[in-house]
Amino acid sequence: MIFRTDLFQKPPILYPILNRKSCNRKSQMTHLSVNINKIALLRNARGGSLPDLVQAAKDIESFGSQGITVHPRPDQRHIRYDDVPALRAVVTTEFNIEGRPDRAFLDLVLANPPQQCTLVPDTDGQLTSDHGWDTVEQQTELWEVVQELQKKGIRTSVFVDPDAKMVEGAKLAGADRVEFYTGPFAHDFKKDPFEAVKAYTKAAHVANKIGIGINAGHDLNLENLRFFKEHCPQLLEVSIGHALIADALYYGLENTVKMYLRQLQR
């Protein structure tokens, strides 16, 4: 059966670009990494292996995603630690493991080295990631972790709020990339998209100037993704899970992955 993805997509929301410097449409392709935590959460709700997490990762890659992201938390309520070796064995695009860098997490990552590890300052019992690192106060801690990961050839990304000092601190900590926490942008997007994205554009210019790569993630969706990309210069990668899996309930997983890819290709 051939699926027509164009039949399912809502008309795009178009916004004027305030200035061409903030857009930079042609100079950088942005990759999509699909976070499969919510697929694991559904599996865990009943036990067993349905849906099959490994098969889902393979399928998502075949649909065009340039990466697979997992975020194992200490309580293992979605991705379990034993999922990581199985996924590492089959993922052929970029494998990104994100999480709080305690010893158990680092041992897991080092034993199953991904292409990228994203360091996130989660706390115990946290429902979802909701803030970035203080890369100034926690710079020494981050430096030690970054060095340990990079010795294994693992690219490191540090989850940060869109603040110039936090971006600079991540660079001084030795990180290869920052991942902008985009929750506030998504929350304020419908009220005033230009105001919502302003801090990210400024922080992105700082990142570009000092030579650290940019990823982004949290609550990005089909409505706000293209706008964010257009106003975050040199955006390398977005990690999207919750919204994409929710959309897949209506549009189907293959159609949904391709719909998100289209938002990044324009």
For the chain, how far is it from start to end, CA to CA, in angstroms?
27
Best CA proximity match to 80, nearest among 105, 115, 55: 105
In sequence order, what DSSP letters do the residues of 208-241 get, joined into one string?
HHHT-EEEEESS--TTTHHHHHHTSTTEEEEEE-
Catalytic residues: 71, 98, 218
Beta bridge partners of 180: 160, 216
Task: Please say whether the beta carbons of 119 and 159 come within 8 A.
Answer: yes
